[in-house]
Structure 1
Amino acid sequence: MAQFIKIYPENPNADAIKKVVDVLKKGGLVIYPTDTVYGLGCDITNTKALEKIARIKGVKLAKANFSFICADLSNLSEYVKQIDTATFKILKRALPGPYTFILPGNNNLPKDFKKKKTVGIRVPDNSIANAMVQALGNPIVSTSIRDEDELLEYTTDPELIYEKWDNLVDIVIDGGYGDNTASTVVDLSDGEPEIIREGKGSIDIF
C-alpha cells in the first residue's frame, strides 16, 4: 500500500518532504507533481529503484530514457560536459520551466547511466519537486506517468493516480491537479537546438 501525502505547493511542509526523501533514500518509488504531468521518480543513485521503474515502464534500464530532475542549473555541471555560452543562455532563459533538455553527459554519471552519451535534464517550475531534490541532495530520475488509454483525468487527478498506482509505488504526493501536457523536449547535445517533442513549453524562446 502506498502512502498518500498531501503537500501544498505554496509552502511545501518540511516534515512531509523529509518523509518522502526518507523513502527515496531507501530505494522507494514516488509519484510527485511537476510543472507538467505527474512524474514517477526515484533516487538517481539507487540501482534497484531504477530497475523497478524500468520494469513498470516495460523497458530495459540500459535503454531507458529517463530524465534527471535537478533543483537548479548548478546541478548540471555534475553530470553534463562543459557547455558553451550560447547553450547556457538558452538554459537560463528556459529554466525552471516545462522543458527537458538533452545534453552531453560527462564521466560523473551514476553507474547505471555510464554508457549514455546524453542525458535529459529537467528543472521543473514546481516547489514540491524542487524541495524533494534539494532535501535528497542529488537529482531524482523521472519518467512521466502516461496512460495507454489516454484517459487524461488518470494522469491529472492525484486521487485517481493513487487508485491506479497504489500497489506499484511507495508514496503518491497530492500536490493538486497536474497538467496533461508533457514537457517540450529540446536536444542541445550538438549546440544547435533541435525540437524532439513539442509539449507545454513554448518553442518561441529558441
Structure 2
Amino acid sequence: MAQYFEVHPENPQRRALGQVAEILRSEGLVVYPTDSCFALGCRVGNKDGLERIRAIRHLDRNHHFTLVCRNFAELGQLVNVNNTVFRAIKAATPGRYTFILPATKEVPRRLLHPKKKTVGVRIPDHVTAQALLNTLDEPLLSSTLLLPEQEEPMTSGWDIKQRLDHEVDAVVDSGDCGTLPTTVIDFSDDEGEIVRYGAGDPTLFE
C-alpha cells in the first residue's frame, strides 16, 4: 500500500518530505504535486521506477520523460543549451513549461529519445515540488500522472492514493494542482517549436 502524506501547501512539513525522500532513495516511485498536475517521480537512476511509470501510463519507447530540476544550474548539467536557448528558457523558468533538449552524458541512455538523444527538462514553480527536490538534493525523473483510460489528470491526492495504492509507494498531497499539463517546447534543433500547448503561456515562444 502507498503511504499518504498530506502536507501544507505553503509550508510543507520537513519531516514528511524527509520520509518521501527516503522512499525515493530506496528506489521507490511517488506521486507528487507540481505547478501543472500531479506527477509520477523517481530517482533518475531508478530503472525499476522507469518501467513502473511506463506500465502505469502505457508509454512506448519514444515517450519523452522529464527531468525535474530545482534550478537552472542543475538543469544545465543534464542538457546542452546554447546562449540563445539559454536566454529563452531562463526568461520562462521556474514555470509551467517542459523543454526538450539534447542530453549530456550525465543522463542515462535509457531515458533518451531513441533517435534524437533528447530529454525533457523543467523547473517547477511549486512550493511542495521545490521543497521535495531540495530535500532529495537531486533531480526527479518524472511524467505527468495521466492514466490511459482518462482524458484529464486526476486532481485529488486521496483519490490517486486509492487508485494507485498498489502501483506506487507514496502520494504527496498539498491540494489541487490543476489538470493542464505543461506547455512543451522542442529546442532540439535550436529553434523552439511548441509541440504541446498547456499551462504555460505559449506566446513567449511563438
Is TM more than 0.5 here?
A: yes
Alignment pair present for 1:187 and 2:186: yes
Residue 79 of structure 1 aligns to a residue whose secondary structure is coil
Which residue of 1 is the match for residue 15 of structure 2? 15
Which residue of 1 is the match for residue 95 of structure 2? 97
Which residue of 2 is the match for residue 137 of structure 1? 137
Alignment map for 1:48-197 (pairs within 5 Å): 48-59=48-59, 62-81=61-80, 83-113=81-111, 117-150=117-150, 152=152, 155-197=154-196
Residues in 2 aligned to 1:201 and 1:56: alpha-carbon distance in whole angstroms: 25
The question of whether the paired residues in 2 share the 8 Å contact of 1:79 and 1:105 is answered with yes
Relative to structure 2, which stretch is displaced further, 190-199 or 41-50?
41-50
Query: Judging changes above 3 Å, is the alpha-carbon distance between structure 1 residues 147 and 57 closer, same or farther for their aligned structure 2 residues?
Result: closer
Residue 16 of structure 1 aligns to a residue whose secondary structure is helix
The question of whether the paired residues in 2 share the 8 Å contact of 1:54 and 1:64 is answered with no
Question: Which residue identity is paired with 2:197?
Answer: E
Which string of whole-angstrom CA distances, capped at 9 and with x for unpartnered residues, describes residues 83-111 of structure 1?
22221111111111110000111112135
Aligned residue-pair number: 203
Gaps of at least 5 residues in structure 1 are none
Question: Which residue identity is paired with 1:4?
Answer: Y
Gaps of at least 5 residues in structure 2 are none
Residue 132 of structure 1 aligns to a residue whose secondary structure is helix
Question: Which residue identity is paired with 2:161?
Answer: Y
Which residue of 2 is the match for residue 43 of structure 1? 43
RMSD: 1.7
Relative to structure 2, which stretch is displaced further, 33-42 or 86-95?
86-95
Residues in 1 aligned to 2:35 and 2:27: alpha-carbon distance in whole angstroms: 24
Which string of whole-angstrom CA distances, capped at 9 and with x for unpartnered residues, describes residues 145-178 of structure 1?
11444465x6111121111111111111111012
Residue 186 of structure 1 aligns to a residue whose secondary structure is strand
C-alpha deviation, 1:40, in angstroms:
0.7
Relative to structure 2, which stretch is displaced further, 30-39 or 113-122?
113-122
Residue 22 of structure 1 aligns to a residue whose secondary structure is helix
Which residue of 1 is the match for residue 32 of structure 2? 32
Question: Which residue identity is paired with 2:177?
Answer: G
Once the two structures are aligned, what percentage of the paired residues are identical?
Answer: 36
Question: Which residue identity is paired with 2:106?
Answer: N
Residues in 2 aligned to 1:142 and 1:118: alpha-carbon distance in whole angstroms: 15
Question: Which residue identity is paired with 1:49?
Answer: G
